[in-house]
A and B are shown apart, each in its own frame.
Chain A
Amino acid sequence: MRRAKAAVVNVAVEWAVWGKEPGGEKYKILRCSDGRLGVEDFEAVVTGYAMAARPDSPCEVVISRFRDGPDTYLGLAIQGPGVVDWAGRPSVETRFYAIPFEPLTRVPVSYEGICGYFAEYEHPPSDEVISAKLPALDPAFLAEQVDDHTMRTCALVLTNKPVCVVRAADVPMLARLRYLDAVAALLPYGMRRNFAAATWTSSTADHKFRLYFAEAAPPEVFSVVWKQRTEFPTDPAASRARHYFELLSGHRGHLADLILRLSLETREMRFRELDLPRFAAILEAGPPALKGPKGGDPTRALDADRPERSAADLLVELGGALERREGGRVDDLVQRLETFDPAAEERPALQAIIRDNRLLAADRVAREHQFRLFQVLLHCAFGPRVEPTQLEQIRDLAGDLHPPLREVLRSRSRAFLLVFSEGQRADIVHRTATNLSTPELVELAGRGLLPADTLVIVCDFLCTHRWGSELAGCLRAEGLLIPVLAQTFDDEQQQYDVLYQLLMAAYGGDPTPEALTEILKHWSRHIPLWGVLQAAAAKFYGRPGTFDVLSELVVSDPIEESKLKRKTKDELAALREPVPAAPTIPVPPAGPGLPALPAVPEPVQKRPGGRHRRNGWWELVRRSLGRWRADDANASAKTEEFPSPQQQPGEPPKSFGGNGRSQPDQHASVILTFLIISVLGLTALYAVMRLFGIG
């Protein structure tokens, strides 16, 4: 009750204008908000519910509904005269508003209320989403609009067959809109998720409206004449309509109460799922405030007399009710559980009850109860927020991530939209990704929660939209996604491509040696992607001498052994060369996007291998000390790699082990010496122990 009396509901409304440009050829989206819905989404909805232009009417309204992933929207199209097109024909302009249904379940609104808000609305010059304050529906006002004709029409609509109202061409649009509102007010509010109506449409339109006004009705729909008594036809569907009408008629005299009660029935309900007993139950059932404990269903009276019970008790009882298939009792218990918010310490016990009683199993719960029941069970087990990282726990409780449960999870968090996005269109996945932060996306990817296709799209999205240091940090935290790439993709070339692009996006187009060290230092050659990682890192570093850094780690040649394409291997071969005297460093393209591979540098003469390997160790140790300065790097490389003109060929460079060695160099040599001595000592100790048969 409290909900319906709220004055307004704040809703973020996305919008679009559909029409022709002056002298234009075709209808198109002229403008739209820059929200979640794109031009294609609006095109689909607007054309799906298009109505015929009515030149003599300045304004007509279409009420529609559509889904975008798990979200249901109520669509409101206001059609008015537009410009003259290329052929000199008058066009119409449609302003379309997409109103998310979820807020309306908290504060129901009427169609007239929405239309009234937007009728005078001037779109802002920018394409921002509208923050609308829609007025709550007024049951008393709507009750005044309900008469015998409206009730009969509503009864016909409930049969799941479209109803066309004829001979109302001269009736003002507002009166027709109120009629639609009055009929809809006699339906459970959740049915509006599947209700489309129009104040006018072409008689021959191939449309999806359940209730509409037109010049004439085709034979397959119910035709009612405006304000003339409707006689129910004799077919079976019409006989059901008669019963619905009788049920509705029983509430004459307190229609405002009925409308209020129906407006609180916000669970989604399809027209084809409705039958007489269910509708009767909805009309009779009411919240405790409306119905005293002594009336109606005896179980309700029993509950009213009982002392407060815990969530655990209710869950156990719910298990029994499900076992006995007591739909009404299940409803009651779910309603009561919805008022609970168990503390974190209670949740393990509740999880155990849910698991033991198989409450989350799909086969135990009637389809119409599933969504609401699973919602409340997840709330009891995990609190208000369920994370994809809890997926294994959820699977454990439910035994299986069955489709209804997936649907509930998808509605709980955007992250689940990605987790359960198998087979989803790429643009939808992409749009969902835009609503998640970089750490969330990388964590989802890193935990192996994403389907392979989605992983590719998410990686692409990260590269194009989230490049930079934040991405680098997130990737490091998730091990550069290496385990998940190894697990998801069989093709090493694909692993290489994705990894290389991620590295480029994370560390930029001009990578420093520190970045390369950072990438490689936590890994050993025992990981499955070692060759691929080295190849990607080498390509990422992308300059001659790269393999000086890498080579000491390479006992075998993992890149050669990997299943990369020959072209990639050839490109990488150039990077094996040491830094030439006047090195030409290819700069990989910086910035967003999946950058193209940098140009292959000119091959240079290769230096003897042993020298390379020692230098690689040397440099790695130095860098791991963290004292390498970027500006020292080239100079240092020069002095070490290329002897001065005074040196003799084959003579070790003077700087190598000479007096001019820097502080980090000295530290490095100490550590190296220590390591070598330790290894030799341990080997000797082991030999002695073997000799004397110890151990």
Chain B
Amino acid sequence: MNPQETARQQLGHNIAMWGTPGSGKTTFLGALSIALSRQDQGWKLVGSDVPSTDALIKLATDLAGQRKFPQPTQGIERYRWNLVGAAPGRRRRRPWGGPGPEAVQIGLDLRDPTGEVYALNAASEDLVERLVKSRGIIYLFDPVWEFVKGNSFDYLYGVLLRIAHRMVDAGEFSDGSLPHYLAVCITKFDDVRVLETAEKLRLVTPDTEGLLGFPRVGDDDARALFRWLCEVSRSGNAELVLNMIKQFFHEDRVRYYVTSSIGFYVDPEFRLFDPDDVQNLIPDPDNPTQMKIRGPVYPINVTEPVTWLAQELAAQDRSRR
């Protein structure tokens, strides 16, 4: 345990990000605040301390304001944020003059490691320690990179086995499954190849709740898409990812989401989604070797995994008490 660790208090539910390098873990976190703001359902994200607040500001402004992706993470970043929601029921002063109901506040203690450490044998001990403590995991599966490189399995298998080993030692593997909640996020839904795959599988429905009518894949269909995308992995090993998730986690503690941190392109002037012009990430005209975010950022399914994990972990805490 590092010197900071001893001094730290548990400030919220530990949630860890997991994914290959470049799968968009930090971008996902950067999009979280923007997504909450876009949804306008009363939830907002605030920092729990000065560094975490600064990081939240920087991640969100870089992505939404400057339309650039965050710097690649080195080591392990830790963000302590609070998910603050409107008080349940109508906000009205009580007749006897007491204060109104308090806002719902869910602490998030998010660990965002650099993807490389998931594939390092020697370097994983710190990471495993943190993952063991983080009972919520957001696993980002990048189908585009998996199709190109096919390396998701390399970044999952070793660390997963180490966690299992630790859990066995701690007597928390008695039922043969890890106690963690896992949100599997199939990222880069904004990429036309992913979208078309989903369309061909007839998994896409229009988002009736959103104002823009983005296409979306329901959470129930996300697993089917995930399975299909695993089958077209370059290495053919992605199927093992699916199987390992099935083997190591309780079925009722795993959910699948099809997500995009930047969303589809929306014309800023007309604020309309054009199904024939969806690509929000395009080659930079000034520097064709690099990519740039074309229009405003409309994250898809970014808040859902986080709020699901937070609620499940909060419920678990309550039941323990």
Given A27-B74, A202-B77, A215 and B291 contact (CB-CB distance below 8 Å): no
A644 in contact (CB, < 8 A): no
A36 in contact (CB, < 8 A): no
Q: Mark B45-87, 1 if CB is under 8 A from A, else 0.
A: 0000111101100000000000001011111111110000000
A84 in contact (CB, < 8 A): yes
A206-224 contacts to B (CB < 8 Å): 206-208, 210, 214-221
Residues of B within 8 A of A50 (CB): 74-75, 114
Residue tally, chain B, CB below 8 Å to A:
45
The distance from the CB of B295 to the nearest CB of chain A, in whole angstroms, is 18
Whether A25 lies near B72 (C-beta < 8 A) is no
Q: A87 vs B287: C-alpha distance in the bound complex, in angstroms? A: 12
Residues of A within 8 A of B120 (CB): 40, 43-44, 47
Give the contacting residue for B22; candidates A26, A55, A207, A214; CB below 8 A.
Answer: A26
Whether B4 lies near A220 (C-beta < 8 A) is yes
Q: A53 vs B74: C-alpha distance in the bound complex, in angstroms? A: 8
Q: A205 vs B54: C-alpha distance in the bound complex, in angstroms? A: 13
Residues of B within 8 A of A48 (CB): 75, 123, 126
The distance from the CB of A43 to the nearest CB of chain B, in whole angstroms, is 5
Give the contacting residue for B78; candidates A40, A84, A204, A214; CB below 8 A.
Answer: A204
Q: Mark B284-304, 1 if CB is under 8 A from A, else 0.
A: 100101110000000000000
Q: A208 vs B56: C-alpha distance in the bound complex, in angstroms? A: 22
Whether A27 lies near B71 (C-beta < 8 A) is no
Q: A162 vs B125: C-alpha distance in the bound complex, in angstroms? A: 21
Whether A206 lies near B76 (C-beta < 8 A) is yes
A372 in contact (CB, < 8 A): no
CB-based nearest B residue for A42: B122
CB-based nearest A residue for B7: A220
Whether B76 lies near A160 (C-beta < 8 A) is no
Residues of A within 8 A of B149 (CB): 25
Give the contacting residue for A203; candidates B55, B73, B284; CB below 8 A.
Answer: B55
A125 in contact (CB, < 8 A): no
Q: Mark A25-55, 1 if CB is under 8 A from B, else 0.
A: 1111000000000001101100111111101
Whether A210 lies near B3 (C-beta < 8 A) is yes
Whether A218 lies near B49 (C-beta < 8 A) is yes
| Residue with the highest number of chain A CB atoms closer than 10 Å, among B52, B74, B117 | B74
The stretch that binds B, out of A88-96, A500-508, A660-668, is A88-96
The distance from the CB of A46 to the nearest CB of chain B, in whole angstroms, is 8
Residues of B within 8 A of A53 (CB): 71-72, 74
A478 in contact (CB, < 8 A): no
The distance from the CB of B145 to the nearest CB of chain A, in whole angstroms, is 8
A443 in contact (CB, < 8 A): no
Q: Mark A346-379, 1 if CB is under 8 A from B, else 0.
A: 0000000000000000000000000000000000
Give the contacting residue for B69; candidates A51, A89, A216, A218; CB below 8 A.
Answer: A89
B residues in contact (CB < 8 Å) with A: 2-4, 7-9, 21-22, 49-52, 54-55, 69, 71-80, 111, 114-117, 119-123, 125-126, 130, 145, 149, 284, 287, 289-291
Leading 8 A-B pairs by shortest Cβ distance: A88-B290, A203-B51, A50-B75, A44-B122, A50-B74, A26-B21, A40-B122, A208-B2
Instruction: Given A47-B74, A216-B54, output 14 extra A-B contacts at Cβ < 8 Å.
Output: A26-B22, A26-B119, A48-B123, A51-B75, A52-B73, A84-B289, A88-B290, A203-B51, A203-B55, A206-B78, A208-B2, A218-B4, A220-B4, A221-B4
For this complex, 22 residue pairs linking A to B, each with C-beta atoms less than 8 Å apart, are: A26-B115, A26-B116, A27-B72, A27-B74, A47-B116, A50-B114, A51-B75, A52-B75, A53-B74, A87-B22, A92-B74, A162-B3, A203-B54, A205-B75, A206-B75, A206-B77, A207-B2, A207-B76, A208-B4, A218-B4, A219-B49, A220-B9
